[in-house]
Chain A
């Protein structure tokens, strides 16, 4: 471990006169044989933003659940404002001034904002006075902290960002002085995340204490004052954010050196694998989701599609993967290895796509990539369950599938290395490894991969990225869809930006900036940005048109 890091307990320069907002001493918690938290010490100073970082399964969430009264610690003590306290249930935590914003919001979807705010914090047996007071208080809070929401709107009508504001307002309405946010930016667009950070800064300036749980290093560096790192149930370090670097934190989290940058050589594009021409899709509600998409992917390159989620990327992946939404009208032309690909009717299903050499790691691995209650070894065969090596006449060759699963687990370092466990029992990163192993090891000519690292911890991200690059270097084509700009920029050989069902432009990741891509993602076209002729009709590879200026005027060296 690094010597500059003070072992647990936090920065010691804080004045002794003010007791810390939270002090945990020797907290341990075991679930059966699994030690989720081992002898945790943590000190969070008043009026600071304190980051807690660690891989999935490091015990961050367990620790915070203990603080919010969900679990009882096996041993250890909790001090709030210097006073010891027994937190037996959520009510005690709320009374002690702790508010929690969960990763999955705890809101009643068909209630109004106001009803959600007062739920459990009503003034009396009748609702009317409570609602009136909440309305008034909400207006004050909104002004104070930039937390505007319409109090009479139903939760299901609100965007995810606004729902999160309601959660924060709920905590503030209960006069929380300590606000815990669990992976708050996982579901937010970049703009919403920026707004959230402004809110958090405002809250800190008002003297609130904030604990931010995340595994995104960039957020930690951007907003926290102090940061504590957890690894395998232990608190391995607490440091001042200003005195550390992302590399050091990553190393502490994973326990070894981690490459944050993807290490790859320039692409050697070959012949076109996938050619998409004027692809259009109108969904069952008659909304045009794709409005004439055209692009190519060549052998040996990774094409990244950037964009705020909900701009047609999902539909594009689903059409190419062979499972578009029911009732959608699809038109256009797609060629795979020079042969047309059926978009409707016979031969357009997922099985056919796999036969044609298209592997697919879906965006939503829990719904589309895995069957969560089935054992991992069965999951390893899904989509390829008819393959001769998995079959024994009309029967499944369970022994062969098991053996293959064990091999995949080893090669992809899936933990725990037990294919008999249900998919549900693996962490997000390991679930994703199972899906990636299944698709990549089939050696597809084209790999569709959506949000490859959503909810995946840093060690697994590095691993998955490496596999994607290896596949590319083996001369395969990769279509990468991600809402993480960092991932798109570091992994892709070419970047297409989607907005409102259209491709707004193409950029070279080496030369473009996040700001430029952000503009395209917000729908500012090439024409608006540079006064040139707008989007090229088809984003073919530059090699096809050596004389023609491609859609990256600034990037051309």
Chain B
């Protein structure tokens, strides 16, 4: 295996881990605030569908992204209502959201496009002039006409070439790493990676973070300090919805070019496993999701891995992330202490 192959695998791992990382951080906000969320999968799926649908209809991926976030937020609101306001069982609410999303996306997809639940492939040139023209005119006043045209005619997220990527390509070692691995990703990949330090900072250095962590550990402490438990938890569930929206939108409009039925393929659950593996910490989430991304990348690259006389079949390679999930959930990672009030609706009592 040469240097270039390793770079390509790592590059692929970065792309594949992005939706996992976003979903994992989404779960982190929710669970650190004491609201367990196994509906990450459903929210991602819904976001993937709404983003792809709107991107296909308008030809504008930014509108698609907004739609993805809104779609995911709607389900977050359902989860919030069920588990915070009405103090229902958070697991059941999450399961319901997963089922709802799996059914609703296919149903609506068939109704709108008649393609058996898929959305059409996102191609350039399909933009709705009525929508994009005023937007483009407004935008060109801010970022200049060239960029405005690029931005408004994007049907899906394309790769961004970072400055100096071409110039540095020939520098040994650092050059390829910068040009191949770090550059040439869609904007959402960079957003996801920036979310890690941002989340760490928010949790550990701000008032909001302190309260968020406290409400997941002992909501009564927050309540008696005169701070609203309900509001904090809704805020956390809302952030979770936005991040799931980004994850789903990336899946449908970044990683691939359109929505297909059940396209999240259990990524929401892998993100949950990664969250436990990460012990509910942002930097841990980065490491855990990278591991899963790497496994998926290897499986994609070497469908039939040959180790001397033994050939590992592709089915096994494809199953690796899921096998790892089971091993991790079985407690192989040692003691992971979840937020103490996790899963418990808060009832005011003395």
Contact = CB atoms under 8 A, between A and B. Distances in A.
Interface string B332-350: 0000000010000000101
Contact of A109 (B204, B209, B340): B340
A271 interface: no
A244 interface: no
A102 B226 contact: no
Contacts of A94: 225-226
A129 B306 CA distance: 58
Given A91-B226, A102-B350, A122 B217 contact: no
Given A61-B350, A110-B217, A119-B211, A127 B226 contact: no
A111 B206 contact: no
Nearest to B209: A127
A490 interface: no
Contacts of B206: 125-127
B350 A120 contact: no
Nearest to B341: A108
Contacts of B260: none
Contacts of B225: 90, 94, 106, 119-121, 170
A82 to B, nearest CB: 23
Interface in A420-437: none
Interface of A: 61, 65, 68, 70, 89-91, 93-94, 100, 102-104, 106-111, 115-116, 118-122, 124-128, 130, 170, 182
Interface string B213-245: 110011011111111000000000000000000
B224 A106 contact: yes
25 contacts: A61-B350, A89-B226, A91-B227, A94-B226, A102-B350, A108-B213, A108-B214, A110-B217, A111-B213, A111-B214, A111-B217, A115-B210, A118-B210, A119-B222, A120-B222, A120-B226, A120-B227, A122-B207, A124-B207, A125-B206, A126-B206, A127-B206, A127-B207, A127-B209, A127-B210
A125 B208 contact: yes
Contacts of A93: 226
Interface residues of B, number: 23
A344 to B, nearest CB: 29
A297 to B, nearest CB: 40
* Best-surrounded residue of A94, A119, A127 (most CB of chain B within 10 A): A119
Nearest to A124: B207
A102 B350 CA distance: 8
Nearest to A170: B225
Contact of A126 (B205, B218, B350): B205
Interface in B184-200: none
B211 A108 contact: no
Contact of A65 (B217, B221, B227, B350): B350
A91 B223 CA distance: 9
Contacts of B223: 90, 106
A91 B209 CA distance: 20
A100 B226 CA distance: 12
Contact of B214 (A100, A102, A119, A125): A119
* Best-surrounded residue of B206, B214, B221 (most CB of chain A within 10 A): B221
Given A89-B226, A102-B224, A108-B218, 16 more contacts: A61-B350, A65-B350, A68-B224, A90-B225, A106-B218, A106-B223, A107-B221, A108-B217, A111-B217, A115-B210, A116-B221, A119-B210, A119-B211, A120-B225, A125-B206, A126-B205
Contacts of B227: 91, 119-120
B265 to A, nearest CB: 35
Q: Which A-B residue pairs are the 5 nearest by beta carbons?
A: A120-B225, A91-B226, A90-B226, A122-B207, A106-B221
Contacts of A100: 224
A151 B340 CA distance: 22
Given A107-B218, A109-B340, A128-B205, A122 B226 contact: no
A463 B217 CA distance: 40
B224 A108 contact: no
B197 to A, nearest CB: 16
Contacts of B207: 122, 124-127, 130
A428 to B, nearest CB: 14
Contacts of A130: 207
A106 B217 contact: no
Given A65-B350, A90-B226, A109-B340, A119 B208 contact: no
Contacts of B209: 127
A130 to B, nearest CB: 7
Contacts of B220: 106
Contact of A70 (B217, B221, B350): B350
Nearest to B223: A90
B224 A122 contact: no
Given A89-B226, A116-B221, A120-B222, A127 B205 contact: yes
Contacts of A110: 217, 340
A65 B154 CA distance: 59
A198 B227 CA distance: 32
Contacts of A108: 213-214, 217-218, 221
Contacts of B221: 106-108, 116, 119
Given A119-B211, A127-B207, A109 B217 contact: yes
A89 B226 CA distance: 7
A103 B349 CA distance: 12
A217 to B, nearest CB: 23
A193 B224 CA distance: 24
A532 B48 CA distance: 83
B348 to A, nearest CB: 7
Contacts of A91: 226-227
B209 to A, nearest CB: 8
A336 to B, nearest CB: 40
Contacts of B222: 119-120
Contacts of A126: 205-207
A500 B223 CA distance: 39
B224 A90 contact: yes
* Best-surrounded residue of A108, A128, A130, A182 (most CB of chain B within 10 A): A108
A126 to B, nearest CB: 6
B38 to A, nearest CB: 24
